[in-house]
Amino acid sequence: MYENTADASRPWTLVSFPNAVVHVDCNAFFTSVEQALDPSLKGKPVITGKERGIVACASYEAKALGIKRPMRLWDARKICPQLVCLPSDYETYSLYSKRMFEILRRFTPAVEESSMDEGFANLTGMRRVHHKGYAEIAWDMKSAIQRELGLTVSLGLGVTKTLAKIISAEKKPDGFTVVRARELHTYLAGVAAGRVCGLGPNSVALLKKYGVHTALDYALRPEAWTKKLLGKTGVELWHELRGEWVYPLVTEEKHDYGSISKCKTFTPPSSDKNFVRAQLVRNIESAFIKMRRHKLRARGMAVFLREKDFSSEGVEALLDRSTSSTIEAARLGVQLFEKIFRPNTAYRLTGIALFKLESGQHSQYSLFDDVPRIESLKAVDKVIDEANRHYGKHSLRLGTGLWLAAHAQHLSERGDLPERKKQLLPGETARRRIGIPVWKIKV
């Protein structure tokens, strides 16, 4: 179908959609959800992240004023004194994300959840099911999200994943762009090389030295040239830009993690060693809960701290053996913490990263392992996970976490809870809520 040597003066193919891939990208997702929940916020500059003292997400109205993440709240308010600052409600954002992907799956079962607020859908072959063209199906997807969730999304319809992602960014916010395969030779001429996902700043700088400034310039070069310059990735992108599908959609739930990380920002920054250490241990607990959920074990651990001025320091080490035990790993985490914590320094964030992950399905012990202790730690973790499932995350936790509730600085921010956590429905508790958001709308 496609010629080996593309020509910029004529279509590379006469077929419109040899494949049909949609990329859906939510516009300023967190603030859009807040504006959907409370229509009185629409049209106003809104940001989330109040609980952390920095801008986590800015609405397009706020962005128009020059407010962007991760700007400090104090600086943002200087730009716009009328700025609406809200604490982040990740629980509700997650519910909206799930609803959005459920809507996409009504139109096709092949959906990839790239992140909470963006994903791909493969519509190839679905015209027979919906009795419509691909553009009409894509428009129906966008309309359903807006009608049912009150969210605007930017949607791009192309013939490969790389093209669909480029196309969805063409018009923001609330964009809808369709580029057919026979239009690629004219469309790519207006796409800067830096907009191609997969070409980083260094690759773009290298390409410019050879006179490649646009995606079309790149697609017109010989395949051997791209391989010599950028290797396998360069060749894959070359095919994708020419409309030849290389990257498949990953529709299965992700289980093969290369690493798992958890971090937590707290406000105001603190130099209290007990409090900062407790924040780190909470991160370790969260990371191991997630790791056990995916039946994994970790051999390596990295700990990092971020100071008030946003400078960071970290350290990493290997465990004696791969483990999924929070108690076993927390000891190493605290040792690493002691290496980098500096007294009289105000910290605003603690973080933990687990790496060298391996399957935890089958246990193999060495001659030097203390098997009874390992088995007892497994039993403890099982009880912790069971308690968390029944009574909410961290309902059963390490004693170090008691410092989180005792810290006066953190207590002063407790009033900044999201509305959903302050307005509990009958039967709900602070730790257990049903998966339903609360809208501020008149019926």
Largest Cα–Cα separation, the chain: 73
Beta strands 46-48; 84-86: pairing state: parallel
Q: Is 338 noted as a catalytic residue in this protein?
A: no
Check if the beta carbon of residue 258 is closer than 8 Å to that of residue 270: no
Check if the beta carbon of residue 71 is closer than 8 Å to that of residue 55: yes
Query: Cα dihedral sign for 345, 349, 350, 354?
Result: negative
- SS3 for the chain is CCCCCCCCCCCCCCCCCCCCEEEEEECCHHHHHHHHHCHHHCCCCEEECHHHCECCEECHHHHCCCCCCCCEHHHHHHHCCCCEEECCCHHHHHHHHHHHHHHHHHHCCCEEEEECCEEEEECCCCHHHHCCCHHHHHHHHHHHHHHHHCCCEEEEEECCHHHHHHHHCCCCCCCEEECCHHHHHHHHHHCEHHHCCCCCHHHHHHHHHCCCCEHHHHHHCCHHHHHHHHHHHHHHHHHHHCCCCCCCCCCCCCCCCCCEEEEEEEEEEECCHHHHHHHHHHHHHHHHHHHHHCCEEEEEEEEEEEECCCCEEEEEEEEEEEECCHHHHHHHHHHHHHHHCCCCCCEEEEEEEEEEEEECCCCCCCCCCCHHHHHHHHHHHHHHHHHHHHHCCCCCCCHHHHHHHHCHHHHCCCCCCCHHHHCCCCCCCCCCCCCCCCCCCCC
Give the span between the Cα atoms of 369 and 212, in whole angstroms.
58
Q: Which of 118, 236, 285, 328 is catalytic?
A: 118
Q: Which are the contacts of 51, defined by CB distance < 8 A and separation ≥ 6?
A: 87, 88, 267, 413, 416
Give the span between the Cα atoms of 29 and 69, in whole angstroms.
13
- Give the catalytic positions in this structure: 118
